Amino acid sequence: MRTPDESFIAEAGLRPEISQSWRRSLLSGLRPDTALALEPSEDFDRRGRLQTAAAPVLDQLAAELAGSGFGILLADSRARIVDRRFGVDHLAGAFDRAGVVVGSRFLEENTGTNSIATVFEIRRGVTVRGEEHYIEALKAFTCYGHPLVSRVTGRLEGVLDISCPAELANPLLAPYLVRAAREIEQRLLQGARESEQRLLAAYQSASVGGRRAVAALTEGVVMASSAAMELLEPSDHALLRCLAAELPARRPARRELRLSAGRTVVADFRPVPGTGGVLIALDDPAQTRAAVPRGRERAAAAPSEGHGGELERHRLARRPVLVSGEPGTGRTTTVADLTRGMSVCRLDAVEPAGALDLAERIEAAGADVVVVEDLQLLSPAQLAQVARLLGRGDLWTVLTSAPVPELGPEHAALAARCLARIDLPPLRARREELPSLVNEFVARLRPQARLRFTAQAVQALAAHPWRGNLHELREVLLHVLENRSAGDVTRRDLPPTLREAARTRGLSLLERVEYEAIVTALRDCSGNKVHAARRLGLSRATLYRRIRALGIDDTAAGTG
């Protein structure tokens, strides 16, 4: 098949909105002959607000289209198919073979031009006729899609789609679909009011008496008991909201958290069905410690506290220990705490193997313990020497390495001989500790500073991937402290990379590309939208619409 390029698209003679979609698909690296090998996800709430509001409308559509060759699809705000209905049963098999199944995520970057992915990109209704599909596997269908928009927030709640074999296409299906979409939007509006009442009732039931710390969170709404208000800072509210949004399939969960003030609590997250909200009960860990998963306990320690009793147990046992974790997770600090007060002989993996006589160095140092840095970098000769060390009963050996799953076979085999291990989690897995970690780092870096991180700032920190882990967090806080020593730290005080991460979280790949292109143009044009639109080749109306849809504000564009 011919490799697609601009001339390939031009020769296809497509409508403007379809050719633009093909270009976006092409830029994502997608080929028309790509097989749709989508991996359906089960991690979504099958009884969420959208499905609840849409169910009666979908039932009516299915009844009206019974016996026909039409299928009805409902996608959520992440472009995942969450419901589907068929006029005839055999159509389900055709959709299955094309990869159009519940849980599949339809974005232009992985499915090309179609009436879910393209509507999700441009936020308006689209008809895609058979040959207008970018992916060959979908050309057998014609589909009609329309966005479902919240009348309260203006945000995209989902996409409603009617699809059929291409030969059954009927232009009257487009207005028919619009009518159904408006009915779902109206039901979403009614459901929003009802869900607020249900959430309030659940909150009142959980907080009866006012003695328990209970909070209820949903979009734009926070309720908290007096006990919770005394316990939580604004930054804690922001972190709780981030953690609630990531509940797997909106199922209950229990987490051990360290709050901004340094206090440790156990938080029970319980989604309230049909509301989109979450009820959070906070308890004293001394009363609930037995119920907390053991795997969470290892991540609760602050970097200054190490691993407490675990370190002392290893010091007493003096058996080979492996300290593993990504760069920046605190391996060096942990080893220093583990071997404090001992005579240490250190083996650096970058030293030439031929220049190394480890036995002589150990004897000369009179070492109690040998620390082998960066196991994953050891040469074969060094591996052999360290393997001999592990067999000595008179010398304690401590090794550090990258995460064990990342080790090669020979290095993993050596690591396997260390039955005692300290696995340091990456910072992105410790986001529930961010407020307390931030406060402790600030206290060490500049004890006299009197800073308060706002909810927006904490949300930006929680959205960041933290590839540099604690080292990167330290650099970020040094950046903040260079410009501020007291008062509220807002998102504007953070480095640009963190501000952008918070804004672009949840955007598709192409949306992020579009976001960056618009922000760059606005910055280059000093915020002049007329000049920026001309540079981007867009009309002013289109630029304004995309700015609103992508959440670009003056601070993002560097003009505020």
Alpha helix (H) ranges present in 42-158? Answer: 49-64, 90-97, 108-111, 117-122
Structure tokens at 450: 């009197």
Rg (CA), the chain: 28
Decide: 407 and 382 in contact? Cβ < 8 Å: no
Q: Cβ–Cβ contacts within 10 Å for residue 232, how many?
A: 23
Q: What is the pLDDT of residue 146?
A: 95
Give me the phi and psi of 430, to 5 degrees please: -125, 30
Residues 6+ apart with CB under 8 A from 454: 234, 235, 238, 488, 489, 490, 491
Q: What is the pLDDT of residue 510?
A: 56
Residues 6+ apart with CB under 8 A from 24: 108, 109, 121, 510
Decide: 143 and 163 in contact? Cβ < 8 Å: yes
pLDDT over threshold 90, residue 145: yes
pLDDT in tens, 467-509: 888 888 999 999 999 888 888 888 888 887 777 665 555 565 5
Structure tokens at 195: 């869900």
| Candidate ranges 247-251, 377-381, 423-427; pick with highest mean pLDDT | 423-427
| Candidate ranges 288-292, 380-384, 442-446; pick with highest mean pLDDT | 442-446
* CA nearest to 302, candidates 275, 263, 268: 263
For residue 224, CA distances in Å to 20, 211, 219, 235, 238 come to: 47, 12, 15, 14, 13
Q: Cβ–Cβ contacts within 10 Å for residue 166, how many?
A: 17
For residue 51, CA distances in Å to 46, 114, 186, 191, 358 come to: 7, 21, 13, 11, 66
Residues in the chain, total:
560
For residue 323, CA distances in Å to 334, 336, 346 come to: 8, 11, 14
Average pLDDT over residues 60-85: 90
Average pLDDT over residues 241-257: 75
Q: What is the pLDDT of residue 352?
A: 54
| Candidate ranges 287-291, 301-305, 511-515; pick with highest mean pLDDT | 511-515
Residue 551, phi-psi category: left (phi > 0), alpha (psi -120 to 50), beta (remainder) = left
Q: What is the pLDDT of residue 181?
A: 93
Amino acid at 53: A
Percentage of the chain with pLDDT > 70? 84
DSSP state of 544: H
pTM: 0.48
Q: What is the pLDDT of residue 118?
A: 93
pLDDT in tens, 428-473: 888 778 888 888 888 888 888 888 888 778 878 887 878 888 888 9
Distance of CA 507 to the CA centre of its chain: 11
pLDDT in tens, 87-96: 888 888 888 8
Structure tokens at 49: 């607000």
Decide: 308 and 337 in contact? Cβ < 8 Å: no
Decide: 214 and 240 in contact? Cβ < 8 Å: no
Q: What is the pLDDT of residue 298?
A: 37
**Spatial distance between the Cα atoms of 230 and 91, rounded to a whole number of angstroms:** 57
Q: What is the pLDDT of residue 560?
A: 53
Q: What is the pLDDT of residue 171?
A: 81
pLDDT over threshold 90, residue 75: yes
Amino acid at 36: L
DSSP state of 352: -
Decide: 390 and 378 in contact? Cβ < 8 Å: no
Q: Is 61 exposed, middle or buried (0-12, 13-18, 19+ CB in 10 A)?
A: buried
Continuous segment of H or E residues that includes residue 125: none
Grade residue 4 by pLDDT with cuts at 50, 70 and 90. low
* Summary mean pLDDT of the chain: 80
Percentage of the chain with pLDDT > 90? 14
Average pLDDT over residues 50-76: 89
Residue recorded with tokens 């601009």: 6
Continuous segment of H or E residues that includes residue 277: strand 277-283
Decide: 108 and 28 in contact? Cβ < 8 Å: yes
Average pLDDT over residues 507-518: 66
pLDDT in tens, 100-130: 889 888 988 889 999 999 998 888 899 999 9
pLDDT over threshold 60, residue 402: yes
pLDDT in tens, 319-353: 899 999 988 888 888 998 889 888 888 877 665 54
Decide: 274 and 262 in contact? Cβ < 8 Å: no
